[in-house]
Structure 1
């Protein structure tokens, strides 16, 4: 069994952050989104992993993620020259996949459930495809499944204007090698892409064995700012344990589940968890509220924030109004002039410099 993780694409929904980096490397609780998928796959016992990369961000993905040793895996990088669809990515990866069954995992997705449960179902029933479904409020934004009263998959439709159900396809699929022939016999969609939903539909039309499982736990597709913040909230809520390795002075107050990395210095500040703060940060005269993630090398002086994600080496100084629901890019610099609004929200890309007047 092999795995194929998709880490290409242009990340248009997370711009401006993704003008300068891969969306799959944007951190959730100070860990790249992509790494959660790798860890889940390895936990299911699959260690031979191919990662689809793009020309624009592939080098960054390779540099940060490495050869897989840190995860207990062997990673092969596969270049997809153009974002021509999920089925096209499988086509490009066919030399790596060979005749092996495989799991396909979209690199900006995170699920609560363990993959091993679904993998066992896939193997035990000797399926051609196993898809995962989740009930959503806005099915037209996803691939959608139409099923009968017995739960059998009848039809898959990509981003339908009039959805036949509210069952969205989660970005995780299990395939036998029969998917390759199905992909070879589909045409590009109206979007000009080879859709994986069309390939699975081909299997269904051929009466091959396609089954679905409905997720009961959470599913996070982190393609937009609010989705990213929600993923950050859930991970902090469920996975953070208290650990203070940095230096906290006696004027500071730490409440709840807070992680502070080595080399970080906290001066006259209040931190209310769940919060994660990386290595080599400096915080002075700050309030850091719940559901905040602060990456390595960040400087915060007289800052007040909560429910936000601050990326590496950003600087926020002198902003006394609370920053909420914000994503601040790497090396961004925020300062403030004397007149101040009551509350502010940001989504700021890497290397920006902003002053509020």
Structure 2
């Protein structure tokens, strides 16, 4: 069995971060989202992995390499434009051959991995198996409509009026039957070949399409709020350790990990928090659910429930929360502007001005 991982796309909901970085490489818990997916694939026993890349191909290839660090072998497949998930299957035909495969969206985050659903698929070998989960706003996703027996009868991509609250999680399992489907469907109104249309093609021809509804944690980390929530989830399982230097004037409270080479002086850190290697924190407060990446500088500032990417600096800022700070960003106080009142008053006026 092979795996096809999608790591292209423009990441419009994470701009401006994704103007200069692949959305799949934005870290949660100081590790790129994509890496969690690759680790889950390897844990399921799949070692032959194709990664579909787009404009950020060079960055993804530099980060992942040949895949050996994850225990997998990686083949890169270039998608010239983001033309849809089914298009990614179409252009990966030579890599996939006639093998069964797991398709995994590289910006998805699933707690608990995919081993059990892979084992289930390998045992039963339906033509397709899709993962579903209940969401409060299904119009943002592909939506599944099930019949009274729990069989999927219709899939719709980002419907204005969803028929159910069951959204498709970004994990799909296919036999080679899907290749006929992606060749037959037409582009949607968005100009993309939709994987939901391809799966619907299978359903309409009475092929065996099954579903698994997951109740565990899943996030499509496509926007800042979801990214921060995924970061919170990762940090809840953080193993505390102080590998760097923390002086006697500092307080470390709760689950805090200070990586090797990091320095904390005169500061209070309340976990769960991770402080990356080479980062220096002085005279500051870092509150719960914050990930600070490598080689950052935080001085005389307060921050919590946030993600700070590598080489960023935050100085003299009170206070930051629910923030995503990009690489090599500098955050400082705005210069103070002297306020003044301009008055034109008639005779015998009485004016009160708050000081």
Report the TM-score when normalising by structure 1.
0.93
TM alignment of 1:29-178, pairs within 5 A: 29-54=29-54, 56-178=55-177
- Across the aligned residues of Structure 1 and Structure 2, the Cα RMSD in angstroms comes to 1.0
Instruction: Return the alpha-carbon distance in structure 2 between the equivalents of residues 193 and 85 of structure 1.
Output: 5
Residue 351 of structure 2 corresponds to which residue in structure 1? none
Which residue, 303, 306, 311 being the options, matches 2:304? 306
Q: Which moved more, 1:124-133 or 1:111-120?
A: 111-120
- The answer to whether structure 1 residue 325 and structure 2 residue 288 are counterparts is no
Instruction: Return the alpha-carbon distance in structure 1 between the equivalents of residues 34 and 119 of structure 2.
Output: 23
Report the TM-score when normalising by structure 2.
0.94
Residue 313 of structure 2 corresponds to which residue in structure 1? 315
Residue 350 of structure 1 corresponds to which residue in structure 2? none
Instruction: Return the alpha-carbon distance in structure 1 between the equivalents of residues 133 and 231 of structure 2.
Output: 20
Residue 277 of structure 1 corresponds to which residue in structure 2? 275
Which residue, 303, 309, 331 being the options, matches 1:334? 331
The unaligned stretches of length 5 or more in structure 2 are 338-355
Instruction: Return the alpha-carbon distance in structure 1 between the equivalents of residues 190 and 301 of structure 2.
Output: 45
Instruction: Return the alpha-carbon distance in structure 1 between the equivalents of residues 264 and 76 of structure 2.
Output: 40
Residue 236 of structure 1 corresponds to which residue in structure 2? 235
The answer to whether the 8 A contact 1:113-1:215 is kept is: no
Instruction: Return the alpha-carbon distance in structure 2 between the equivalents of residues 58 and 337 of structure 1.
Output: 37
> Could you tell me how far 1:114 is from its partner in structure 2?
3.0
SS for the counterpart of 1:336 is: coil
Runs ≥4 residues deviating over 4 A: none
The unaligned stretches of length 5 or more in structure 1 are 341-357
Deviations 1:317-350 (A, max 9, x none): 111x12000000000001114659xxxxxxxxxx
Deviations 1:50-83 (A, max 9, x none): 10000x2100000011110110110111100010
TM alignment of 1:170-189, pairs within 5 A: 170-189=169-188
Aligned residues: 337
> Could you tell me how far 1:109 is from its partner in structure 2?
0.2
> Could you tell me how far 1:112 is from its partner in structure 2?
1.5
Residue 9 of structure 1 corresponds to which residue in structure 2? 9
Residue 349 of structure 1 corresponds to which residue in structure 2? none
> Could you tell me how far 1:121 is from its partner in structure 2?
1.6
> Could you tell me how far 1:117 is from its partner in structure 2?
1.0
Instruction: Return the alpha-carbon distance in structure 1 between the equivalents of residues 333 and 171 of structure 2.
Output: 44
Residue 347 of structure 1 corresponds to which residue in structure 2? none
Deviations 1:87-116 (A, max 9, x none): 000111111111110000000001123311
